[in-house]
Amino acid sequence: MISNIHEQIAFQFNKKKLIAYTVHMDLEDIINWSIQVANKNNLDKNVFVKYFKELFWGFTSVQLSLGYGLIALSETEHPSGKKGITAKENEIPDMMLADIHFWYHLHNTWESIYRLWERAVSVLETRLTPNIKRNRYFDGYLNELKNIESFLKQEEILALYKFNKTWGKISEMRNKISHEVTNPFLYSNIEVEFSSILGIRGDPIAKYDYTIPNLKQEIDTVINSYKKSFSLFEAISKVCNCSIKPNFTIK
């Protein structure tokens, strides 16, 4: 069963021309490289390696959630959404089981990407300001780095600031799901208007104006953040490799 699902995920990734990044990552190489970086910069080796390993497994979580979402999308009746007006309530398209699975896995994908970026901040904190004990969000940590003049002269660190917009989108989508909308039925919109004219049974005639969201657009938005997350991973790797020394004085 699991192997069949994995094959389907691979098929859906190929169909969307997506890269499963962890397939091209060697975890052992990542561990050995992070040990070298830690030793070179007098970092806590165990902590630094741990966070890089969590980045790897964070990508795995994103890929699995995204893969399940793509499978569910392939079985929905209206993947591109649908709008219509009808006088009969039973003509409004129902949300099917595949739709519920789609929204569930889309939500999980956003949450996994959000957690992935939290792990990315942990890597940066350990590499650049290893004595900091507080947890920060991506944009908040970059704002703090602005107070360290030597860091702002480093090209690799400056390159991180271009990811602030992506982080804004990720946190917006994740917080909307986490704090506002979990019920998948709330994504569809149905407006009912009653006519002053009565039907043959003496009841007001209703007109239903319905909108079903475009699921392809929803998945494409999260895919874009998935791709940007790997670009961030590459940028963080360059920061870790650069010549800048950690600032041990900031706590």
* Total number of domains constituting the chain: 1
Q: Which whole number is the average pLDDT over 27-32?
A: 94
Q: Confirm whether 39 is domain-assigned.
A: yes
Encode pLDDT of 171-196 as tens digits: 999 998 888 777 776 776 666 777 66
Encode pLDDT of 105-162 as tens digits: 999 999 999 999 999 999 999 999 998 766 679 999 999 898 888 898 899 999 999 9
Q: Confirm whether 251 is domain-assigned.
A: no
Which tokens sit at 43? 């970092």
For the whole model, what pTM was predicted?
A: 0.89
Q: Confirm whether 22 is domain-assigned.
A: yes
Q: Confirm whether 225 is domain-assigned.
A: yes
Q: Confirm whether 131 is domain-assigned.
A: yes
Q: Confirm whether 246 is domain-assigned.
A: no
Q: Confirm whether 125 is domain-assigned.
A: yes
Domain that holds residue 129: 2-86+96-184+214-241
Residue with more model confidence, 226 or 136: 226
The pLDDT of residue 147 is 86
Q: Confirm whether 247 is domain-assigned.
A: no
